[in-house]
Structure 1
Amino acid sequence: MRLVIFDVDGTLVDSQNNIVASAIGAFTGMGLPAPARADVLRMVGLSLPETMLRLAPDATPEIRAALVEAYKDGFRDLRLRGQDSPLFPGARDAVLALANTPDTVLAIATGKSRRGLEGMLDQHDLRGLFRSTQVADDHPSKPHPSMVLAALAETGIAAPRAVMVGDTSYDMDMAAAANVRRIAVGWGYHAPETLVADHHIAGFDALAPTIDRMME
């Protein structure tokens, strides 16, 4: 058996508009200067507490905790109003094809909360395809390897038979710390040339063939 672990934001779904809007809304709603869009996108993949620590390093812990809650509320409100995050082209077909491959198990390791992940899975009718779903609620922030190690333990698949698919340096570093191989996607929120990976792909059509070659 082999395990394919997916990041979500920037890898499966293009959530940048909702992420940036929620971050700016959280800061301005508390009377704080809004962070730059580029700065917010550089934080995608980190847990929200770690994100707010980096975006507001001089704020008190109480203010950063309030920013986390304001961000969550803003993101949920956008989703409830129908401003959804679309799947990247080819993502759904690639996930379904892998899920229907007999020797392949799928997992998720995301900086999203459990509530945010479940909303995304329901929105795109992907629930039930991932045997292990690891979220920021239950683990240290990426790049700590806890989420990948938990996915390995939950599925019973050894690290040499696993691969992480992601778009940020946090994903790549997390996988490396767990001794899992890495596929970097070229359409996410960190520049592809900055990602240290075993393979780089430019489209989802290359994902399955790349995994096949890696697992030969």
Structure 2
Amino acid sequence: MFPGVLTGLLSLRAEDVAIAAVTLQYRHRLPWVVPPALADLLDALITPQDAPPKPDRDSVHAALRRVCVRPEQAVLVGESPGDMRAARAAGVLALGATWGWHPPTALRAAGAHHLLPDPTRIGPSLLHHLPPIPTT
């Protein structure tokens, strides 16, 4: 996990924000790739065994169903073009993590709505990108 990510996720949790992950890793590999501190924060963790893998939108929709969040009230932070395509296909705000393995130009070309310059941008400020929730 990149430095700053866990701190940001903890601050989102403190704001009572649902947190899910969609990974291309298979469930049997999760103990090796998902640190316990992250696993404890997740309300949902979707693998290719749960839904078709990204860039298919069904994996993102599966995560949203598990956390009871509508697509227009969600963000997907991802570091790959496949993440951006999955977010867009699912109707979710696509935020490109430029500290990953793909250049910002590839994330933009794949549909990133915004680019995050470093992991410290993960936190409650992400929620400002979302439209207000209508009151009923």
Superposition TM-score tier, normalisation by shorter sequence:
0.7 to 0.9
Q: How does 1:172-187 map to 2 (within 5 A)?
A: 172-187=84-99
Matches of 2:18 and 2:90, distance apart in 1: 18
Asked if the contact 2:47–2:53 (Cα under 8 Å) also holds between the matched residues in 1, the reply is: no
Where in structure 2 are there 5+ consecutive unaligned residues? none
Instruction: Provide the residue aligned with 1:110 in structure 2.
Output: 23
State the 1:210 CA deviation.
4.2
Does structure 1 residue 191 correspond to structure 2 residue 98?
no
How does the TM-score come out when normalised to structure 1?
0.55
How does the TM-score come out when normalised to structure 2?
0.85
Cα 1:212–1:140 shift into 2, 3 Å: closer
Give the number of equivalent residue pairs. 128
Where in structure 1 are there 5+ consecutive unaligned residues? 1-86
Secondary structure of the structure 1 residue equivalent to 2:123: helix
Determine which of 71, 80, 89 is the counterpart of 1:168. 80
State the 1:136 CA deviation.
1.6
Matches of 1:197 and 1:208, distance apart in 2: 18
Asked if the contact 1:113–1:135 (Cα under 8 Å) also holds between the matched residues in 2, the reply is: yes
Structure exhibiting the larger radius of gyration computed from Cα positions? 1
Say what the alpha-carbon RMSD is for the aligned residues: 1.6
Determine which of 119, 129, 132 is the counterpart of 1:214. 129
Q: How does 1:89-100 map to 2 (within 5 A)?
A: 89-100=3-14
Cα 1:106–1:209 shift into 2, 3 Å: closer
Secondary structure of the structure 2 residue equivalent to 1:138: coil
Seq. identity, % = 29
